[in-house]
């Protein structure tokens, strides 16, 4: 099986002004494409050749980040999940059942937002901030480098990429401003809720 770079689920300029077309040309067209290309070279002729991305990640999760195969499989999966978690005119407080669930597990939407922003801005160096479901409870975690929080039954619901290449062309070193834009203008709450329903 050969992995392919998925198309973005929106036009390449659809997230402007929050994420520019130029950023997506590099981030999707160069970084994500590079992970896919590397992954195809690494799985060729191995037992992982016909495995799914998450199966590869789970199989190697005892030593996350410890191999080129894990890193490229995880980054390929992470980026697709990141693109799907955004939409034009998204973000802000969700409605309905999703808001009820955030209130139940975090106390309020604002408490969730604060915790997510802290995870994203507090991640030292490259990594990801995640909204996850674990044992029936929502939580926020951060991971370094390529690590995917799928061990121990944790289900990713939403992620924000805080590697510098995700935001530097638009925000320079102001990671907090990028995270604000992500939360206030880009989150695809329908995607989050669909992941929660499937958890």
Least confident stretch, 14-23, 55-64, 69-78, 152-161: 55-64
For 21-84, CATH gives 1.10.287.990
pLDDT digits (tens, 9 = 90+) for 168-189: 999 999 999 999 999 999 999 9
**According to the model, what pLDDT value does residue 32 have?**
98
pLDDT at 153: 79
CA atoms of 7 and 17, how far apart (whole Å) = 20
Distance CA 122, CA 125 (A): 9
Give me the residue spans of the domains in the chain. Answer: 21-84, 96-198
Q: Which residue has the tokens 């669909």?
A: 194
HEC states along 146-193? CCCCCHHHCEEEEEEECCHHHCHHHHCCCHHHHHHHHHHHHECHHHHH
* Tokens read off for 75: 């980054």
Q: Which residues contact 111 (CB under 8 A, 6 or more apart)?
A: none
Mean pLDDT of the chain: 94
- What integer is the mean pLDDT of 100-109? 97
**Predicted confidence (pLDDT) at residue 1 exceeds the cutoff of 70:** no
- For domain 96-198, is the CATH number 3.55.40.20? yes
Q: If pLDDT is split at 50, 70 and 90, which confidence band does 63 have?
A: confident
Q: What is the pLDDT of residue 65?
A: 62
């Amino acid at each position: 099986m050969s992995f392919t770079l998925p198309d973005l689920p929106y036009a390449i300029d659809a997230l402007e002004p929050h994420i520019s077309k130029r950023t997506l040309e590099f981030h999707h067209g160069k970084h994500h494409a590079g992970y896919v290309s590397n992954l195809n070279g690494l799985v060729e002729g191995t037992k992982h050749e016909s495995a799914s991305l998450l199966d590869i990640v789970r199989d190697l999760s005892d030593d996350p980040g410890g191999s080129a195969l894990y890193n490229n499989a995880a980054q390929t999966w992470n980026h697709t999940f990141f693109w799907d978690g955004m939409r034009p005119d998204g973000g802000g407080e969700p409605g309905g059942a999703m808001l009820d669930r955030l209130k139940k597990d975090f106390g309020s939407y604002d408490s969730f937002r604060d915790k997510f922003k802290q995870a994203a801005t507090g991640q030292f160096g490259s990594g990801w901030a995640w909204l996850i479901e674990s044992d029936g409870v929502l939580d926020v975690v951060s991971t370094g480098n390529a690590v995917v929080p799928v061990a121990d039954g944790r289900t990713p619901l939403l992620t924000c990429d805080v590697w510098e290449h995700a935001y530097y062309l638009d925000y320079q070193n102001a990671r907090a401003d990028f995270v604000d834009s992500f939360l206030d203008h880009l989150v695809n709450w329908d995607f989050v809720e669909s992941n929660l329903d499937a958890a």
